[in-house]
Amino acid sequence: MTDDRKKKIAIIGAGAAGMSCAATLANHPEKFEVTMIDIDSHTGGQATSVSLDEQKYGASWLNDGVQGGSAIFRHTFRFFRRYGYEPQQVKLQVSFGKGPENFWTNVFPSPLVDQHSREIKKLGRVLKCIKYLMPILGVLPVKVILRLFRFSNDFNNKMVLPLLALFLGTGNQTPNVSSVLLERLFDDPQMKLWEYDPDTLLPNLPEMYTFPNLGNFYRDWSKDLQSKGVDIRLNSSVAILERGRKGVVLQIQRQTSGGEQAESVYPPESFDELVLCCPADEAKKMLDRNATWREKYVLGGVKFFNDITITHSDSDYFQKIFEAQYDPALCAQATTKDRKEQIEFAEQQPRCEKDGWVGFRPMYFTHSFESDPDKIEMGFDCSNYQHQFRERLGPGSDPLPLNEHVFQTIFLNDQEKEMWTWNDIDPSKIIARKWWHQFGHRWQHYLRVVPGMMFINGKNRTLYAGSWTMVNMHEIACISGIAAAYQLGADYDPFDDFAEDFFAKYLLVCHGTRYKRGKNKQA
């Protein structure tokens, strides 16, 4: 900055991206005056929690939007720890499909794995092809790659698509996902979750981390930012009146307690810079006639879908569509030493441990529809997954009976809701319903949106942040907010080599800026 005047920054959206941006700017109170605006009544965006009856379910709260991540979530975990919240390690168990002909898992071998042994081995070779021919093959949708390399529909629908859907949350749009994400899931240090195994495909129980109480965390984070001078305005909508060389003019309206929008609660306000940390379609709508053709092209390339998560305790329904318990009929032969050890582990009476379970206690689930096999429903056994339930039981304890568990079933893309099984859930056992507006990782996203971000970021006094700018992960949202603040002149704190490398890659791809270690960008 060339003068002593503070730069006025408006951040639209108080989710992980907006909060991370505000927190990074707030480290420089002498440089920035920060206003953060969100239409919701809470900060955190999709990272929310619900209250539970502790006597009934064994925990007093549940994270119901964002639930956890892997060890790569360095920036996310650093924010948690800054306010005394610690992510908890868990060894992840997954359950794909229903019945001996459809089921497989990362815990023990199944007949389906043996049936597709040759295709599992071929997939390893194809992953290498995608890696070395990334600019050509990586952008193609998964369905095209699977067809190109002549994989069977049975293998595609029962193994590849469910695996990708579960960890990206893409559900019914998974066939259209760029194949680069399949390769990254196994090979990229910044995204890698699984070790590829030519025998069972997934041989390991990967280390994941469940998040602390997100409602409490975002509340404490908000209070701290306010104490540092950040003006947080919730229940507020924004209209962009002007953007230009002189700055940005916004009309901010605050909703009344009755939900009606009061007119001109705040007069038009001028800001030096605007950071849009809201979904791309909302940003495009907000810009309206002020949007450039480049912004319309890039933002218009992000496709969103409406999904609903139903949190419930209906164990009969859950077991009807997912495999939630060990059954010898689901198990293949112990033909190797590794297989024998896996089966022995799965056959044990389930026992609670600090970092998960001994015995088969799956946490993530998928099942496909017989009428349309490439369409998927997803679920979670939150009592097996989230750490607060295990803490109540204590290490060495037996699990609670399934009828006392808390489950989530996720129904994807309301345009296909005629297939949903949500009406089969006992209404008396429903704890919460929440609708989400999720973007799909379509192949077009990596051909049009991600490479286009650098051409709209920083133009017309406007920056963009959010997980939609790359991959739908809480960590990407945090990095994107920090990157926007960095571009405005805030310092990046290099607290971890891996995190710094991740940040540098994001900054290069989405802003076209090379990050130099030891040198921060000047305002």
- pLDDT of 481 > 60? The answer is yes
Instruction: State whether residue 201 is helix, strand or coil.
Output: strand
CA distances from 215 to 46, 65, 130, 208, 472 (A): 10, 11, 40, 20, 20
pLDDT at res. 257: 56
Q: How confident is the model at residue 2 (pLDDT cuts 50, 70, 90)?
A: very low
pLDDT at res. 522: 59
pLDDT tens column, 115-160: 999 999 999 999 999 888 887 887 888 899 999 999 999 999 999 9
Which residues on adjacent β-strands are paired with residue 275?
11, 463
Measured CA to CA, the distance from residue 207 to residue 89 in angstroms comes to: 7
pLDDT tens column, 248-268: 999 999 876 554 555 545 789
* Tokens standing for residue 427: 């209404």
- pLDDT of 298 > 90? The answer is yes
Overall size of the chain counted in residues: 523
Query: Which of 74-78, 189-193, 194-198, 412-416 has the lowest average pLDDT?
Result: 189-193
pLDDT tens column, 384-404: 999 999 999 999 999 999 999
Q: What is the mean pLDDT of residues 354-369?
A: 93
CA distances from 336 to 57, 106, 123, 340, 342 (A): 40, 16, 21, 6, 10
pLDDT tens column, 440-465: 878 888 889 999 999 999 999 999 99
Q: How confident is the model at residue 439 (pLDDT cuts 50, 70, 90)?
A: confident
**% residues pLDDT > 90 (the chain):** 72
Q: Residue 341: in which H helix or E strand, if any?
A: helix 337-347
pTM, two decimals, is: 0.92
| Closest C-alpha to 104, from 362, 357, 303 | 362
| Closest C-alpha to 69, from 491, 489, 474, 458 | 474
* Tokens standing for residue 240: 């962009």
| Amino acid occupying residue 349 | Q
Q: How far is CA 466 from the centre of its chain?
A: 11
Query: Which of 62-66, 175-179, 216-220 has the lowest average pLDDT?
Result: 175-179
Task: Enter the CATH code of domain 7-47+213-302+443-511.
Answer: 3.50.50.60
Q: How confident is the model at residue 1 (pLDDT cuts 50, 70, 90)?
A: very low
- pLDDT of 412 > 90? The answer is no
Q: What is the mean pLDDT of residues 80-88?
A: 97
55 and 46 in contact (C-beta within 8 Å)?
no
10 and 35 in contact (C-beta within 8 Å)?
yes
Q: What is the mean pLDDT of residues 470-492?
A: 95
Measured CA to CA, the distance from residue 384 to residue 351 in angstroms comes to: 11
> Structural domain boundaries of the chain?
7-47+213-302+443-511, 49-210+305-439
pLDDT tens column, 299-312: 999 988 899 999 99
Q: How confident is the model at residue 517 (pLDDT cuts 50, 70, 90)?
A: confident
pLDDT at res. 196: 84
Q: What is the mean pLDDT of the chain?
A: 91
Listing DSSP states for 450-511 in one string gives GGGGGGTTTGGGEEE-SGGGS-S-HHHHHHHHHHHHHHHTPPP----HHHHHHHHHHHHHHH
pLDDT tens column, 209-248: 999 999 999 999 999 999 999 999 999 999 999 998 889 9
- pLDDT of 162 > 70? The answer is yes
Measured CA to CA, the distance from residue 216 to residue 430 in angstroms comes to: 23
